[in-house]
């Protein structure tokens, strides 16, 4: 995989695999944490995220939108807890993308 190929094909030829990778991680995270928090992260933060392949590090990166905690509504969670769960979710996604496309 290289960055150009992934960027060109991720929402066309690779989309079903990309979608499945996100679903796999959602299911695992939903089993571990409060479903309201995981649904909030999925629908309010990750829906605005962008997966990329970084040629320099030869790894996948999920770029999050600015101020993710401020985007989360309808979920009562301390910012520190939110950031820890979001970072784990992001790490899981990046690992899943590597397993799927790497």
Q: What is the pTM of this model?
A: 0.91
The terminus-to-terminus CA distance of the chain in angstroms comes to 6
Q: In this structure, what token pair is assigned to residue 32?
A: 């571990």
Q: What is the DSSP letter of 47?
A: G
Neighbours of 76 (CB within 10 A): 8
* pLDDT tens track, the chain, 102 positions: 788 888 888 888 899 999 999 999 999 999 999 999 999 999 999 999 999 999 999 999 999 999 999 999 999 999 999 999 999 999 999 999 999 987
Q: What is the DSSP letter of 75?
A: -
> Domain extents for the chain?
3-101
């Amino acid at each position: 995989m290289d960055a150009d190929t992934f960027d060109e094909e991720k929402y066309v030829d690779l989309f079903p695999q990309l979608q499945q990778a996100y679903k796999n991680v959602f299911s695992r995270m939903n089993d571990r944490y409060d479903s309201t928090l995981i649904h909030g992260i999925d629908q309010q933060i990750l829906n605005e995220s962008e997966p990329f392949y970084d040629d320099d590090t030869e790894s996948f990166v999920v770029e999050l939108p600015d101020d993710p905690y401020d985007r989360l509504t309808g979920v009562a969670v301390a910012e520190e807890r939110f950031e820890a769960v979001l970072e784990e979710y992001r790490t899981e996604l990046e690992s899943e993308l590597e397993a799927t496309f790497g």
